[in-house]
Chain A
């Protein structure tokens, strides 16, 4: 049986508020062993922040991590899927936008989970191989994660 979105979605997702300073976001990424947080304000997702965003938009641009709130460096365009979507649709969105982590939102914009490429690959690696190729092919050489602008 083909896996469903609900089978591969992580339901307990750590999030950060938009006014948190990026030094603290970095510490949480280290302590929680994650590379990405949805940025949430009153339950609604207002952005996404990755470890790569922190390295490139804070240090490479000379910002002070103790004085830069995450809202200043997050990606504001939240590429997402909806809870009722099929897994194929979610993977197709990831492939089209070249993202490896996709928040799953309810109809009213509340965060209900997160799909990662790794989980999707693990659930159906043979069937999703083509989509995974589309996502990975677009990566710059040596990149950890594709930067979004």
Chain B
């Protein structure tokens, strides 16, 4: 997984979220109220829910465009289960929650590729782009 401390408050503006994404070179920020993750916002959310809908980025709070259906796991979740969550929920990245509900980091296709699971990463990509029907019952590499 990739650990990251960066997050954004639900009351921050969309413009502030974009500045943070650029500053930290990320495309994904957990939205945290107090110590709890209440949503996530991606660079694409900013474009398709903020810009495309004609909202004012200086006045629109992140809470209005964030995704509240979280795809998440815990630090000790088996990678096999993480891979299947990505396929079922059609995401390339899963939020890792610390005990207590705060953000610990993310695990994405690039993390799988970096840690010797590139075959699995490629297979998930194939499923997400509708070229492979689904994950086999046994993943080809030991997870």
Contacts and interface: CB of A to CB of B under 8 A. Distances in A.
B21 interface: yes
Given A26-B52, A55-B46, A142 B126 contact: no
A129 to B, nearest CB: 5
A117 B92 CA distance: 13
Contacts of B112: 136
A149 to B, nearest CB: 11
Interface stretch (A38-46, A59-67, A78-86, A102-110): A59-67
> Chain A contact residues: over half helix, strand or loop, or mixed?
helix
Nearest to A65: B51
Contacts of A142: 2, 4, 26-29, 93, 106, 108
Contacts of B113: 132-133, 136-137
Contacts of B37: none
A4 to B, nearest CB: 15
A29 interface: yes
Nearest to A138: B110
Contacts of A22: 51
B18 A52 contact: no
Interface residues of A, number: 41
A141 B106 CA distance: 8
A62 B4 CA distance: 26
Contact of B52 (A23, A59, A132, A139): A23
Interface of B: 2, 4, 14-15, 18-19, 21-22, 25-29, 42-44, 46-52, 54, 57, 92-93, 105-106, 108-114, 118-119, 121-123, 125-132, 140
22 contacts: A29-B48, A30-B48, A56-B43, A59-B14, A59-B18, A60-B22, A62-B15, A117-B125, A118-B125, A121-B123, A121-B129, A128-B122, A129-B118, A129-B121, A130-B118, A139-B108, A139-B110, A140-B27, A141-B2, A141-B26, A141-B105, A147-B25
Interface of A: 22-23, 26-27, 29-30, 35, 51-52, 54-56, 58-60, 62, 65, 116-119, 121-123, 125-126, 128-130, 132-133, 136-137, 139-145, 147
